[in-house]
A and B are shown apart, each in its own frame.
Chain A
Amino acid sequence: DAGVTQSPTHLIKTRGQQVTLRCSPKSGHDTVSWYQQALGQGPQFIFQYYEEEERQRGNFPDRFSGHQFPNYSSELNVNALLLGDSALYLCASSRKPGQSYEQYFGPGTRLTVT
């Protein structure tokens, strides 16, 4: 049973650049949520995708955008990177809304902005 996968594992970018992170959900899951986890903090919800649409969004600026593809995989894009965007970016997958509530995380992408 394939779990949630994310790529790349690590990434180093310079302020002002743009970055794209990728996620493939667990087998049987069709909903993807993205979280940002700063050091020493709990994950913070960025947004959730289901049926290729953004369904919910947390308190993140428009620099953060996403996409979901027909095969349920997803991308997180961050434009105009700031030093404060350095964090672990986590993707979580789940079954469609109403079927279950459990979310399972991928290994994460560690983003460092210099």
Chain B
Amino acid sequence: QKEVEQNSGPLSVPEGAIASLNCTYSDRGSQSFFWYRQYSGKSPELIMFIYSNGDKEDGRFTAQLNKASQYVSLLIRDSQPSDSATYLCAVMVRGGSQGNLIFGKGTKLSVKP
């Protein structure tokens, strides 16, 4: 059973702080990793994807991937109240033509003004 694990939170950070969201996955052969943001009552929005070990930065977001540890994280710098949402980690199943994404349950982030 291929799994993606996330801390459900809630994770509470003050405005302007760095929020750190973590995710582990069970399939060592996974190659593609995604972070989605989901506001309450809305659909998931793709905010980052990473395919290679290391860091990938896009504005205030940094995705980090460590395949040896089967670990992927998302850092949000200068957190804003508008970042308050559930963040879903998704991993593409190895061998799938293009996913078949396996999602974690999500981490709820709350940014306090």
Interface on A for B, CB 8 Å cutoff? Answer: 31, 33, 35, 40-45, 48, 50, 55-56, 58, 88, 90, 94, 96-98, 101-108
Q: A101-B32, A104-B46 are in contact. List 10 more A-B contacts (CB 8 A).
A: A42-B103, A43-B101, A45-B100, A88-B43, A90-B43, A90-B44, A96-B98, A98-B97, A101-B99, A105-B46
> Which chain B residues (55-101) contact chain A, with CB distance < 8 Å?
88, 90, 92, 96-101
Q: How far is the CB of A68 from chain B (nearest CB, A)?
A: 14
A-B contact pairs, 5 of them (CB 8 A): A44-B103, A45-B102, A88-B43, A94-B98, A108-B42
- Would you call B105 and A42 a contact (CB within 8 A)? yes
- Would you call B43 and A108 a contact (CB within 8 A)? yes
Residue of B nearest to A40 (CB): B105
Cα separation A45 to B49 with both chains bound (whole Å): 18
In the complex, which of the residues B4, B43, B46 contacts A107, with contact meaning CB atoms closer than 8 Å? B43
Q: If A40-B105, A42-B104, A44-B103 touch, does A97 touch B46 (CB 8 Å cutoff)? A: no
Interface string of B12-36 (1 = CB under 8 A from A): 0000000000000000000010101
Q: How far is the CB of A14 from chain B (nearest CB, A)?
A: 24
Contacts of A56 in B (CB 8 A): 96-97, 100
- Would you call A43 and B34 a contact (CB within 8 A)? no
Contacts of A108 in B (CB 8 A): 42-43
Cα separation A61 to B106 with both chains bound (whole Å): 25
Contacts of A45 in B (CB 8 A): 99-102
Q: If A88-B43, A90-B44, A106-B43 touch, does A31 touch B105 (CB 8 Å cutoff)? A: no
- Would you call B106 and A102 a contact (CB within 8 A)? no
Contacts of B105 in A (CB 8 A): 40-42
Q: How far is the CB of B100 from chain A (nearest CB, A)?
A: 5
Contacts of B98 in A (CB 8 A): 31, 48, 50, 94, 96-98, 101, 103
- Would you call A48 and B100 a contact (CB within 8 A)? yes
